[in-house]
Structure 1
Amino acid sequence: MSKLQTLLDRLKAHQHVLIVAAADHDTMPADSVLRRVAELENAIAAVEAVIAEDEEE
């Protein structure tokens, strides 16, 4: 497995943990949690784009 794929897997796992933790609360998660989830989504998309570019070469 490539280092980028490993990074991608870790980012997705961390995002999943945040989402599950937020869902375990009865109230809407704090803005900071939502912001972190969104930041992870951006990082995931960036890593996926680099992986896709590498596969095309």
Structure 2
Amino acid sequence: MGEIVNLNRARKTRAKAEDKAQAAANRVVHGRTKADKALTALERHRADKLLDGQKRDPKSDD
């Protein structure tokens, strides 16, 4: 005879393993610290400000 397996326990164990895998994937994608987010926002703001400073005034084309 084979080993007796509790199907509910096997299903729950498999679901927990899938949840852990999903959580690990989410940590990779969304796992940024507040300092990293602030630095990225600051860099984006600086780049936008530099780009706005480089724009030509359409009224002065006369």
Same fold flag (TM > 0.5): no
TM-score, scaled to structure 1: 0.44
Q: Compare CA radii of gyration and give the structure with the larger one.
A: 2
Q: Which of the pair has the greater relative contact order for Cα pairs under 8 Å at 6+ separation?
A: 1
